[in-house]
Amino acid sequence: MSLIAWIAVHAAEGLLCLWVLRWGGAEWLEGTFTSGVLFGSFAPRWSAEGLKMAALILLVFCAVSFVAGLFVPGLRCWAGGGC
């Protein structure tokens, strides 16, 4: 994956997590099918606080994988997508 695509994917993921954490996304997603698509099959049963916690964990993982992918281009591959 190119560096530009890597940055774009992580920027979009970071904005999604920030929307859930700070801009009312957790309340909007609470109890919906969409939360299950974004955060896992048990997410529709979670409260807004649970969705915020999942988004925070995902944001931390996103930041770590972004930095790792910047310095090690071989880590920019997606599962099954090839390099």
Say whether pLDDT at 80 is over 50.
no
How large is the average pLDDT for residues 36-44?
77
Show the domain range for 50: 3-76
CA–CA distance, 46 with 37 (Å, rounded to integer): 13
- The answer to the question of residue 62 being in a domain is yes
How large is the average pLDDT for residues 1-17?
89
pTM recorded for the entire structure:
0.79
Say whether pLDDT at 67 is over 50.
yes
- The answer to the question of residue 81 being in a domain is no
Q: What's the total number of domains in the chain?
A: 1
45, 64, 56: which is closest to 21 by C-alpha?
56
- The answer to the question of residue 53 being in a domain is yes
- The answer to the question of residue 82 being in a domain is no
